Copies of this chain bind each other. A is one copy, B any other.
Amino acid sequence: MERVSTHIDRVIGATLPLEDVWGPFLTRISAFYPLRPEVEAGLRRVLTGPLQAPPRSDLRKSDGHHDGLLILASGFAHSYRLLENGRRQIMRILVPGDICDYGFLSGIAATTGGDRIMSFGSARVGRIDVAHLIVLCETHPELMRAILRASAVSHASMEECVISLGSRTAIERVGHFLCEMRFRLELVGLVGSDTSFDLPLKQAEIGDALGLSTVHVNRTLQTLRKEGLVSMSLGRVTILKPGLLAKLSSFNSQYLLGQPQRASYSKH
């Protein structure tokens, strides 16, 4: 029932003019630094798209241009790298509202390292021309600040990834991953009132993100289910005991908020 209506919503939503495609992005970016209405309007003006990206397509190539700021408007995606040994390492999971990569800040493409960005299911992608963005940032410094904070949060997120891969066990990794997903999706209003959310990743993909084999991801998820911590099926996840899961995986949402540092330390 729930799933059916969700699906219908989505199909209709894509054609209804009522849907605000840029909603998640604007919500997210202005949470980092409050944007005045005219700045949001300015952003909407320079946003082109959304382009419909077919499932499993390279988002950077689906968009013809090679510079500019790519935004995931809807759907899920991931940035990853294929390694010499045939393995795939997923660096980052992208959820609606996310900026796909921050290469535009420095003019250095992440593709230098062989990184790609690929949608999981079908996705919609928006784009802002760098030239337009620069103009907008110059007139509204708050926008640049918001973007820099978004970039900092993306960076912090990656640090958390290093922690996971470097010193967390399988259960902790998976638990942490699920907590992070829920939190990020909550920020853009994609968690239902029953606290469940869509997560269209195969177990193999979760493994590639967390440095675990598919088989072990499967067994770890089973453990989490047996413990009654999460319920998971058909790409829909419910975290049944958020507090416990967060504690078990030492998840602390702090790093995803991007709030400015405290003025002074408590030390001394």
Contact B85 A167 (CB under 8 A): yes
In angstroms, Cα B260 to Cα A103, docked, is 10
Contact with B along A227-268 (1 / 0, CB 8 A): 000000000000000000000001000110011111011010
In angstroms, Cα B145 to Cα A182, docked, is 35
Contact B156 A112 (CB under 8 A): yes
- Across the two chains, which residue of chain B brings its CB closest to A32? B106
In angstroms, Cα B161 to Cα A79, docked, is 15
Interface size on A, residues (CB 8 A): 51
In angstroms, Cα B161 to Cα A161, docked, is 10
Q: Which residues of B contact A83 (CB under 8 A)?
A: 163, 167, 250
Whether A151 is near chain B, meaning CB under 8 Å from some CB there, is: yes
Q: Which residues of B contact A165 (CB under 8 A)?
A: 162, 165-166, 211
Q: Which residues of B contact A255 (CB under 8 A)?
A: 112-113
Contact B162 A103 (CB under 8 A): no
Contact A111 B261 (CB under 8 A): yes
Known contacts A84-B250, A265-B66: does B162 contact A162 (CB below 8 Å)? yes
Q: Interface residues, chain A, CB within 8 Å of chain B? A: 61, 66, 81, 83-85, 87, 89, 91, 102-103, 105-113, 115, 145, 148-149, 151-153, 155-156, 158-163, 165-167, 210-211, 250, 254-255, 258-262, 264-265, 267
The 5 closest A-B pairs by CB, nearest first: A109-B261, A165-B165, A166-B211, A106-B152, A106-B148
List 24 contacting pairs A-B, 8 Å CB cutoff, sorted by A: A66-B261, A66-B265, A83-B163, A83-B167, A83-B250, A84-B250, A87-B167, A89-B163, A89-B167, A102-B152, A106-B145, A106-B148, A106-B149, A106-B152, A107-B145, A107-B148, A107-B261, A108-B149, A108-B258, A109-B262, A155-B158, A158-B158, A158-B159, A165-B166
